[in-house]
Amino acid sequence: MSFSFTNPRPDNDRSFSFTEPAELEAKLQTITDMAHEILRLIAEVRRQINN
């Protein structure tokens, strides 16, 4: 997963773009899912430590 400052498609006039909005939305959703999973794992570890 990576961001780029220039769009790799030469037919696009925009020269400063992280990514298409739909791609960005998908990347943000992936990050959100990862964060939720990390928090879930932390909660699980805390449960194990406290038991």
pLDDT tens-place string over residues 1-51? 555 555 555 555 555 555 678 888 888 999 999 999 999 999 999 999 998
pLDDT at 21: 81
Q: Is the pTM of this model over 0.85?
A: no
CA distance 4 to 37: 26
Which residues are CB-neighbours of 31 under 8 A, at least 6 positions away? none
pLDDT at 4: 54
What six digits make up the tokens of 30? Answer: 């992936």
pLDDT at 25: 87
